[in-house]
Amino acid sequence: MNKKNIYLGIGIVFLSAIMYRVGVITADRPMAKLANGQEVFAKIDGKDFTAEELYNKLRDLGGFESSLDLIDSYIANEEIGRTEEALDNAANQVAQYKFQAEQSGQKWSDIYQQNGFATEELVFEYFLSNYQRQETAKKFIIEKLTTKEIDDFYKTEIFGDITAKHILIIPDVTDSMDATEKSQKESEALALAKEIIEKYNNGTEWNDLVQQYSDDTGTLATNGELTFNKIGQSAVDPAFFEASLKLANGEITKDPVRSQFGYHIILKVTQKEKPSKEASLETIQKTLAEQKLSATERAYADTWASIREEYNLEIFDGVLKQAYKEFKGQ
């Protein structure tokens, strides 16, 4: 981690952070230059309003959250930067939300403005910052992983890719059904899956069974075949993976396997050799970091508290300092 002193006191940088976050400042809306907090930013008959008054008001209304937003954004940008991967991630996020807005018949600009963003560029920067923060947290955890943690994970969680074919039977259950009706549909799906296994064992061609029965339309073109692993981008339902792992090449499951999607009949094709620890290191580190960040409700927040400590964060404003102590549970 790049470690630098981070100071938070009374000043224009804090006001800038708040206004930038809600999309108030744009290129054609310049902000007055402030020096000591006593400059007048607005006036009416009988009253001048100073920057210090505005700061105190904003601090009390939501300054603590905005102060952390400012600090964490700076740290995350220092740690991750505007990499091609980070920029692509933000662009994809914007495109996804924009597409959803258009599909629902809503005006994209109305949506982001209702959420406090003046321009689409500010939406992009918001997603970019979120990505940078997530990656910074992972980076922080990865740097502190022990050799034992990595070795243990490699022994128990790393496997060679499995190629298998499957037939999926999805119970015909709807939300409007009562418990009895749902149970009946589950039983019917299980019975059909067992019948398919019996047909295969009695000589019916696998490809014919897939085309006739499988509800997984995404693998019909490959007759149910897919390649997967326990973790990473090719990860599948744990029950599906464990059942496939136990099969010998060319063997079919004796009983249907229940996953979150439905009942599977699995025919294992082949499995690659376990990759080396060195080849798996990046996957191990990333997975362990993600697991640690989601282990508890406060894991992400606690990780970021530790990151700020490494950057020697000092808070001079008394109100914000107390708020931060309470936030950390001190």
Q: Are 304 and 72 in contact (CB under 8 A)?
A: yes
Structure token digits, residue 260: 């979150």
* β-pair partners for 44: 47
Q: Which sequence spans correspond to the domains of the chain?
A: 6-145+281-327, 159-271
3-class DSSP assignment, residue 21: helix
- Rounded to an integer, the average pLDDT of 15-27 is 40
pLDDT digits (tens, 9 = 90+) for 197-255: 999 999 999 999 999 999 999 999 999 999 999 998 899 999 999 999 999 999 999 99
Structure token digits, residue 109: 């600009």
Lowest mean pLDDT among 45-49, 134-138, 217-221, 293-297: 45-49
pLDDT digits (tens, 9 = 90+) for 57-74: 877 777 778 888 889 999
Q: What is the CATH number of domain 159-271?
A: 3.10.50.40
Residue 35's pLDDT band (boundaries 50, 70, 90)? low
Between CA 42 and CA 44 the distance in angstroms is 7
- Residue 314: its H or E element: strand 313-315
- Rounded to an integer, the average pLDDT of 152-159 is 97
Radius of gyration over every alpha carbon of the chain, rounded to an integer in angstroms = 28
pLDDT digits (tens, 9 = 90+) for 267-279: 999 999 999 999 9
Question: Among candidates 190, 191, 164, 161, which has minimal Cα distance to 251?
Answer: 164
Residue 45's pLDDT band (boundaries 50, 70, 90)? confident
